[in-house]
Structure 1
Amino acid sequence: MSDRSDRGKAVADRMSRRFAGDEDDADAERADGSDDGENAEHDEHGEDDQRGERSRNVRNVKEEWNGTYVYLPDDIDGPLDAEFDRLVYECGRDLDWKPKKNRHYYPVVVADGIETVSEMDPEAFAARLEELNLR
């Protein structure tokens, strides 16, 4: 389980680096050519860092990222939207910054969800489906 946990943490780290930027920061980096040093470390392939840099520097995520359509039951979709609204309010209040749903919120929800699911064995996965009344 340790290898799976380590792999999950590595994926989460890559995803958080990939989606940590904001449009204004990306525009500023492009304008002055500066780099925040995140690409100084390369993983074993080096390719993930390049993809991560491209992901941060996009102007329009709907045009440049892969679109994935998801169908959710109402009892999951409602809280998904409610949590986003809460974060927009609290980030605006506490950080004077408002996250965007496609650029910031969905990637974090999916990355953290992937990490959680990657740590499940088949029995835990089936049990969670039962809890959600999906099986």
Structure 2
Amino acid sequence: MSMSLFVILALEMEPNIKEINSIEPEIDHVLELSEKIDINNHSGFLPATLDGKATGFEIYIFSVSKAPEPLKSVIPKDIQNGNIYQISFGHNSLEAQAAFATAISMNMRYNGVTIEDQAGSLLSIEQLQSLIASFNE
């Protein structure tokens, strides 16, 4: 079973890998997403390393207008015209940490919000930071 984090950004925000990779001071991890991939036009597996260990997760991008109704009701009104970056990962702790690190970076760099798929609730950056630590092996 996989889990997803939904990172919602305003329409005018276009994240780039170099900016996302510059998160380590905030999370105490070194995240490196593959710079060969244009995150705004990619769908599927995104290779990464976290603290020098190879990992990755799946990422899919779609418009907020195409979000399922339960998800739409949680999305703040000021980004209803934005894009959703769905970050999916399995039960591997390294995958989970890379996924959470990416969500934290996107939230911090681009004023995004993250919704987790299990309870459908908004997660603050502080909650994401706390959860990333819970995946330590």
TM-score (norm 1): 0.27
* Structure whose alpha-carbon radius of gyration is higher: 1
Query: Comparing both structures, which one devotes a greater share of its residues to strand?
Result: 2
TM-score (norm 2): 0.27
Query: Comparing both structures, which one devotes a greater share of its residues to helix?
Result: 1
* Structure having greater relative contact order (Cα 8 Å, sep ≥ 6): 1
